[in-house]
Chain A
Amino acid sequence: MSQPSAPPSNADEFRRGLRRALPIVLAILPFGLLFGTLAADNGFGVGEAVLMSATVYAGASQLVGIELFGQHVAPWLIVLSIFAVNFRHVLYSAVAGRRTQHWPALARAVGFFFLVDPQFAEVERRVDEGKPITVAWYGGLALPVYVAWVAETAIGAYFGGLVPDPHAIGLDFLLPIYFLGLVMEFRGRPLWLPVVATSAAVSIAAERLVGSPWHVTIGALAGIAVAVIFTPSEPSRDAGDAAR
Chain B
Amino acid sequence: MSTTVWIILAGAVATYLTRIGGHLVLSRFERIHPRLEAGLNAVPAAVLTTLVAPAAMRGSVPELAALVVAGLAALRGGMLSVFLSGAATLIVLRYLLQ
A interface vs B, CB < 8 Å? 22-23, 26-27, 44, 48, 51-52, 55-58, 61, 65, 69, 75, 78-80, 82-83, 86-98, 108-109, 112-113, 115, 117, 120-121, 124, 167-170, 173-187, 189-192, 195-196, 198-201, 203-204, 207, 212, 215-216, 219-229, 231-235, 238-240
Query: Are the CB atoms of B78 and A23 closer together than 8 Å?
Result: yes
Interface residue count for B (Cβ, 8 Å)? 71
The smallest C-beta distance from A240 to any residue of chain B, in angstroms, reads: 6
Contacts of B82 in A (CB 8 A): 177-178, 180-181, 184
Contacts of A113 in B (CB 8 A): 16, 19
5 residue pairs, one from A and one from B, having the closest CB atoms: A223-B46, A97-B23, A94-B22, A93-B22, A184-B74
Contact sample, A vs B, 20 pairs, CB 8 Å cutoff: A26-B83, A56-B12, A75-B7, A79-B7, A83-B18, A93-B21, A94-B22, A94-B43, A108-B23, A115-B19, A120-B44, A121-B44, A170-B90, A176-B55, A178-B83, A180-B70, A190-B41, A219-B53, A227-B46, A240-B37
The distance in angstroms between the C-alpha atoms of A235 and B33, with both chains bound, is: 10
Query: Are the CB atoms of A94 and B25 closer together than 8 Å?
Result: yes
With known contacts A51-B5, A112-B23, A220-B43, A176–B49 Cβ distance under 8 A: no
Query: Are the CB atoms of B48 and A23 closer together than 8 Å?
Result: no
For B42, give its contact among A26, A97, A191, A232 (CB under 8 Å). A191
Contacts of A65 in B (CB 8 A): 7, 11
The smallest C-beta distance from A175 to any residue of chain B, in angstroms, reads: 7
Query: Are the CB atoms of A95 and B43 closer together than 8 Å?
Result: yes
Contacts of B49 in A (CB 8 A): 183, 195-196, 199-200, 203, 219-220, 223
Query: Are the CB atoms of A191 and B9 closer together than 8 Å?
Result: no
The smallest C-beta distance from A147 to any residue of chain B, in angstroms, reads: 17
Query: Are the CB atoms of A97 and B22 closer together than 8 Å?
Result: yes
Query: Are the CB atoms of B12 and A117 closer together than 8 Å?
Result: no
Query: Are the CB atoms of B46 and A55 closer together than 8 Å?
Result: no
Interface centre among B7, B47, B56, by most chain A C-beta atoms within 10 angstroms, is B47
The smallest C-beta distance from A198 to any residue of chain B, in angstroms, reads: 8
Within 8 A of A (CB), among B1-37: 2-12, 14-27, 32-37
Contacts of A89 in B (CB 8 A): 15, 18-19, 22
The distance in angstroms between the C-alpha atoms of A204 and B4, with both chains bound, is: 33
